Structure 1
Amino acid sequence: MRRTFTDFTIEVDMKRPDFLRSRGNGQRNLLLGRAVAELAADLHHLDSIQREVFVDGAWRPHIRSDWASSGADYSDSSQLLIEGQQVMQDWEHPLMRKLAENACLHKGDILEVGFGMGISAGYVQDCGVRSHTIIEINKGVAERFEDWRAQRPGADIRLAFGGWQDVIDDLGQFDGILYDTYPTDEDEFVKTLGPKVVTLAATFFPAAAAHLRPGGIFSYYTNEIDSLSRAHQRLLLEHFSSFTVELVRDLRPPADCTYWWADRMAAVTAYK
């Protein structure tokens, strides 16, 4: 199948005669046509928004293998750096507020993966939750967490120190989970941000589903601009009963932000 559009041509070269096998060519061509049309629509949309809303961005330095013990640099109050990597910046406040509000809908027991600058953690506390458990792997960030917790006497706030893969099975069940973390070494960076991965949070989907109570909520963001790909949706529905997507608009990452390059993100809420 070959389809020519205004700005490009898409050609599908079938390598197997039984690929998308059907009783007739009509059904096969319909399925192929839909897939090609969706790809074309995505490309046209990405072209239009990159001219309207993308910021410059920059090249990211490599991550070494000792992320857990690397120093957390909070010297610039507007951002957190680890190993020279921009991990979080204060322009994320609107996004973190939305994720926290979604995760805390039931105001029960909340698990947050990743502390960072404590932005989302502060919004979780504002929601008046019953308990708040935070997983954090970096020692410097964990020290920052202790200072943050000391300012909230009487609140049930706990730290689970380590990688989420290592500690989550000891933490029980939750009413809401907020996921905002970052690859901890170069191998994980490649695996989680490679072309075959639908979203950074995808590796956490099974754990989130396993540690949510019935009706529980999983909240995360995705770098897809205004929708979720078919592959992303299929993966979500393998682990959750339903989901909603909201755009958080008017974000203002600076031009030298190395981990995001547009003025909007999609906040995803998945329901067990």
Structure 2
Amino acid sequence: MTTTSLTFDVKTDDYLIWQGQVVMSRSEHPYFCQLFECLAKDLRPTRVLEIGFGLGISADLIQHYLHPAEHHIVEVDTGIYADLVQFASAQTGVVPYLGDWRSTSLPAPFDLVFYDPFDYSSEPDDVVSEASLLRRLVGNEGALCHPHFGDGLPRSLPGFQTAILERFLVPEIEMADGTHCGHAAAVLCFSEK
């Protein structure tokens, strides 16, 4: 998938729902506030890559908490990309890309990669290939951050060491499968040397 033009069941300022699955909801905002506030305690990334724009919640908070000089954002859906372009025009240092992050030419490495894409394809996940691409994007010195909902272990990616910075309770978040979650964590992953 290079780019796509999706028809969402619901696309509002509060929800993105595609084929009955919650892609993103405004209920995630308190979690992302806590996540980026936690990251800002230890990180001052100059170059950030954000994979997936969605409702723009994380993009806005990356700007607010991390203040990167360069904030590259890649989005696969043309309609959401239009929202991204509007967001970028109101910010300094935001560079929008339309395309699938796996095949878009991105100026790696980045100090921080925030990885929150929604998989719109029906292809099975290739975790090894995905992890290899993510390691290239963070290089030897950068870090990868991905959302973690629930109180269990975070997703493990081959070739990365995972650190849970902080666990916290959040107001209930509606998940893609329609369930609700009140536990979350700030997670960073580093390339294994």
Q: TM-score, normalised by structure 2?
A: 0.80
The secondary structure found in structure 2 opposite 1:86 is: strand
Structure 1, unaligned runs of 5 or more: 1-64
Alpha-carbon distance in structure 2 between the residues aligned to 1:119 and 1:215: 26
Alpha-carbon distance in structure 2 between the residues aligned to 1:113 and 1:179: 5
More helix by share: 1
| Aligned residue pair count | 188
CA contact (8 A) 1:112 1:134 kept: yes
Alpha-carbon distance in structure 2 between the residues aligned to 1:248 and 1:207: 30
Question: Which residue is 2:172 aligned to?
Answer: 252
Question: Which residue is 2:159 aligned to?
Answer: 239
Alignment pair present for 1:228 and 2:153: yes
Alpha-carbon distance in structure 1 between the residues aligned to 2:86 and 2:10: 13
Q: 1:179 aligns with which of 115, 130, 150?
A: 115
Question: Which residue is 1:124 aligned to?
Answer: 62
Partner letter of residue 109 of structure 1? Answer: R
Question: Which residue is 2:47 aligned to?
Answer: 109
More strand by share: 2
Q: Percentage identity across aligned positions?
A: 23
Runs of 4+ in structure 1 over 6 Å off = none
Structure 2, unaligned runs of 5 or more: none
Alpha-carbon distance in structure 2 between the residues aligned to 1:215 and 1:67: 30
Alignment pair present for 1:77 and 2:13: yes
The secondary structure found in structure 2 opposite 1:264 is: strand
TM-aligned CA deviation for residue 128 of structure 1: 1.0
Question: Which residue is 1:212 aligned to?
Answer: 138
Q: 1:203 to 1:262 in 2, by over 3 A?
A: farther
The secondary structure found in structure 2 opposite 1:125 is: helix
Q: TM-score, normalised by structure 1?
A: 0.59
The structure number with the bigger radius of gyration is 1
1:1-272 equivalence runs, <5 A: 68-72=4-8, 76-101=12-37, 102=39, 105-126=43-64, 127-152=66-91, 155-167=92-104, 169-185=105-121, 187-188=122-123, 191-192=124-125, 204-223=130-149, 225-228=150-153, 235-236=156-157, 238-241=158-161, 243-253=163-173, 258-272=177-191
TM-aligned CA deviation for residue 202 of structure 1: 7.2
CA contact (8 A) 1:72 1:141 kept: no
CA contact (8 A) 1:100 1:178 kept: no
